[in-house]
Structure 1
Amino acid sequence: MSHLAPSSSLLVTAANNRILLPLLNLLNVVVVLSFSPFSFGLHNLVPLLLNPTELPPPRNLTFKWETPFTLRLTWKKPKDLEPDCSVNYTVNAIPSQDCSEKVITISYTTRVKNTTCKLNIPNVNGLCISVKVNPEECGNKKQSPPLEISIPPPPVRLVKNMSFEYYHDRLKCTWDSDVDVPDLGLYYWLPQKEMVKKCNEMKIGECVINDTFHNKEMFYLFNGTYKGQPVNNTFRQNSSTYFVKLEKPKLTIQRIGQSLCFHTNFTVSEFGAHCYEKNYIYSKCDEIKQVKILDSVYKVDYDSSCKYRARVQIILSSRCGAGKSDLSDEVEYGENRDSNLPALLAGIIIPLMLSCFLIVSLVLLRRHKDIIFPKIPEPTLIFKDMFINNIRTAEDLRSTADGRLYIPIEEIVENKIRFEPETPLIPTKTDMMYKQL
């Protein structure tokens, strides 16, 4: 195998011998070892480099509740761990007793150097705790299999269907309950504060917390006595800013030129103006539309043949938290009209008006015909007779007679006429008196 070295040394030049010479020497060593009696050990070393082995799991994992919200975990180092092997530990907690991968929706994971760990975690659903060993400087080793334990939930669930409403340092918590616990109490705790506080404004299914809240998660403790035994239920919720209840806004509609302006009247609370989105829900000719903007005024094109209905809702932006208001009262503007209505009305009203005018004219003409068309007096009998006698028929025109004479119509005259003598007037007493005077 010595012939490989001279052939390789031909590639070395004065310019790059400082770089290539160490590499060629290493190549010669590998080639020599591959054909030497020690090559058996090299072949066994390659699988070890390609297939690292798992570290052993930790031992004796135990837990203890230091407070209703804080869980202390302890364990021991893996057995047969090499002294020069440096490791750390990954702790994972699942809010369920089922440790299978299928049910993992929310988990709490942390990495520690020591063999102890403290977790702020709720207990209401039970817990599955797992600890794994991670290699830091441990040769050809990989992560160990997990060591798991299950922590059972409380014997009874005191409340369910929890909901929250937050407004101006006032957090309203409501819930339902299937069990009768007369001494039920509600406590809350912020991880930044060591003190656990009690909610004093307690009612059935409701409690109002008045405090200065931080934009951090909060823990809640419901405790009471059930069947003679004390029971603690702890819950973990997001920051109170994720349950913001905003005031109901007011909406007005104003027409400006050929546009309609939707104005939102809303009082900005503790968040900045950039945190409030306006969700406009409006309809135009019964066609529903929706738009989200930051401005308090939204303009749409105006159509006089359409009726507009609009409502608005204030939504807290995800950059600032979560929450929304109720929808405002609905505001209407305009009326729905047919665009062909003017032509249709003209085609109906104009003929109807003409018909009415004609009927009225005929009625008035009939009523006042004597004034409008006065009667012409008839001619006297003489002229009438003359007209009648002067009418010639076709036979008369063919007659050879020179002409026709006027033949008057006979008039009936009373033939017995009697004259009576004039009677002298008999003087009266009054006449006699005048004569004497």
Structure 2
Amino acid sequence: MWNGDTSLPSHFHADSTPLLQRHPRSSTVTTTLLFIWTVFPWCDRASGQKPRDLRFYPADRLEVKRDADSPRGDMRFTLEFFLLLTHTAVTVFYCHADQFPPPINFWNEWLDPFTVMLSWTKPSSLPDDHEIFFFLKGDPEDKSTCVKGSLRNYRVSENFLTEENISKDWTYNIWTVKDCEHLHSSKPANTIISTWKPRAQLVKDFKCVVYSEVMKCSWIPVNRSLSLTLFYRFCGSLEESIKSLKTCDEPYIVGERSCCDLHLNYSVEDVCVLVETEAAMSTFIARLSVPPPKLTIREVGDYLTVSATPPEVGEKACWTYEVCHKPCSKTKVCQNTSIGEPTIKVPYDKNCLYEFQSKARMSKYCSRLNSNFSETVTHGVNKPPDLTLTAVSIAVPLILSICVILCCCSYRRRGVIFPVIPDPSAIFEEMMNGSKELKVTGSLYTPVPERIEACKISLESENS
């Protein structure tokens, strides 16, 4: 029911900002709506009827109770219907009013081989006190920037590298938005960024080893007949970074790789590199690493204490180490240390040869540096195993088995091996009693008679 308040309901506004202030161009429609809202209850009171509570409902829920005896029933229906149409028109106008015009004078300019300055002007149709944002987005999906639109002219610097884009050019878009979550509330303006030389892959396997005061970089040229020039600096779009561009003035060759020492002190920032010839160019971020850590191995009781030497760069508390060992040519076992702790313990078998390798890795909270695995470091020797215990464990059961077998065989042939010997006392007793017959209690030895051949003797005369 109407309570005498002539202000608009709270659910009519999309936010707490007054409608006239948010959309100055909708003032005429809003003024008409306010007039109808105020006058309509006054018309009911003038006709002697109870003022009605006016609310906005969807068209399918609009219910109007018409009094057949009241000549003002048609008038109230017409006013309510007109009020509903007016609300719909204001809502539609409000939705279109959020589509801001795009920025103007959007252009780009190269500041150095890595940095492009983007510049644009705020739309002239928007007042200076209108709160808006400008959202910029380029071809690489990770390149996006949101800028608050409180000024008239703007300049933003971004790094662009040829390794980030496959096509020849970059396309950069910019929107005028109410906030950076609604990106397509207006038509974008765009600019095309082109390199001053055609892009080409001039080197491969470009990597740098970081020391405290120098970075030793090496690469393999794609075409050794081309003369390459290398420029480098820390990545960034600030003026200090742009002015720090340096040239590799003392390149040298080691085997198949070309090398150069970059005179940069260690920093957590990436290193941007430009390699160019007379006809082409290539820009990229150098792949950095640190030298593999050196290992110190000590015997402590039944354990080996393995310690890694921290790299020259970065805080010691930022490093963690992966130590791999292989005892007696068995499977390799790897173990990670705690952050800032360079020492681990490994159970030690003195009869085994241990092979160790390690690499360093910086914590994600410090930087993204790491190292390759170090050369293999050995400790101990492979000794032949002591076979005494093994021989005893085999010989003793074998001897016992043989003894048992011999005992069994002897028991079965005990009569042959151990014959019954007659009792001599019985023989002497019978002899003393005068017995002519000898009673033998057991079998005596009976000699076998020998065969005697008869001899024939013949006499011969002397004359013969």
CA contact (8 A) 1:71 1:121 kept: yes
Give deviations 1:334-362, integer Å, cap 9, x for gaps. 769999x876432323467899xxxxxxx
What is the rounded CA distance, in whole Å, between the counterparts of 1:223 and 1:255 in structure 2?
A: 56
- Cα distance in 1 between the residues matched to 2:215 and 2:183: 51
Alignment correspondent of 1:246? 291
2:392 pairs with 1:346: yes
CA contact 1:313–1:328 (8 Å) conserved in 2 = no
Matched ranges for 1:129-278 at <5 A: 129-135=172-178, 143-153=185-195, 154-161=197-204, 162-179=206-223, 182-190=226-234, 191=238, 192-193=240-241, 194-203=243-252, 205-226=258-279, 231-236=280-285, 243-256=288-301, 259-266=302-309, 269-278=312-321
2:342 corresponds to 1:293? no
1:329 aligns with 2:376: yes
Amino acid at match of 2:343: V
Per-residue CA deviations over 1:378-410 (Å, capped at 9, x if unaligned) read: xxxxxxxxxxxx9xxx98559xxxxxxxxxxxx
2:27 aligned partner: none
The answer as to whether partners of 2:202 and 2:281 remain within 8 angstroms in 1 is no
What SS does the corresponding residue of 1:41 show, helix, strand or coil? Answer: helix
Secondary structure of the corresponding residue to residue 90 of structure 2: helix
Residues of 2 paired with 1:108 and 1:25: CA distance?
40
- Kindly indicate whether the alpha-carbon contact (under 8 Å) linking 1:199 and 1:209 is maintained by their aligned counterparts in 2: yes
Q: Percent identity?
A: 17
In 2, Cα distance between equivalents of 1:73 and 1:25: 45
Counterpart secondary structure, 1:71: strand
Q: Is the 8 A contact 1:135 1:142 kept in 2?
A: no
- TM-superposed CA distance for 1:209, in Å, is 1.0
Q: How does 1:311-322 map to 2 (within 5 A)?
A: 311-321=357-367, 322=369
Kindly provide the CA deviation profile for residues 102-150 of structure 1, in whole angstroms up to 9, marking residues without a partner as x: xx453253526444424242342442211111237xxx99732322343
The separation in 2 between residues aligned to 1:267 and 1:89, in whole angstroms, is 46
Superposed counterparts of 1:410-425, under 5 Å: none
Native 8 Å contact 2:136 2:174 kept in 1: yes
Q: What SS does structure 2 have at the residue aligned with 1:42?
A: helix
Whole-angstrom distance in 2 between the partners of 1:111 and 1:293: 44
CA–CA separation in structure 2 for the residues paired with 1:297 and 1:52: 66
Q: Distance in 2 between matches of 1:142 and 1:196?
A: 38
Cα displacement (A) at 1:75: 3.9
Q: Deviations over 1:14-59 (max 9, x none)?
A: xxxxxxx899998996934766355131232244456764223234
Counterpart among 152, 159, 166 of residue 121 in structure 1: 159
Q: Secondary structure at the match of 1:324?
A: coil
Q: Matched residue pairs, number? A: 327
- After TM superposition, the structure 1 = structure 2 runs for residues 35-114 of structure 1, keeping only pairs within 5 Å, are 36=79, 38-39=82-83, 40-49=85-94, 53-78=98-123, 85-94=130-139, 104-111=140-147, 113-114=151-152
Segments of structure 1 that go 5 or more residues without pairing to the other structure are 10-20, 95-103, 356-389, 399-437
Change in CA separation of 1:72 and 1:311 when aligned onto 2, cut-off 3 Å: closer
Q: Which has the higher strand share?
A: 1
One-letter amino acid of the counterpart of residue 318, structure 1? K
SS of residue paired to 2:132: strand
Q: How many Å separate the matches in 1 of 2:183 and 2:307?
A: 64
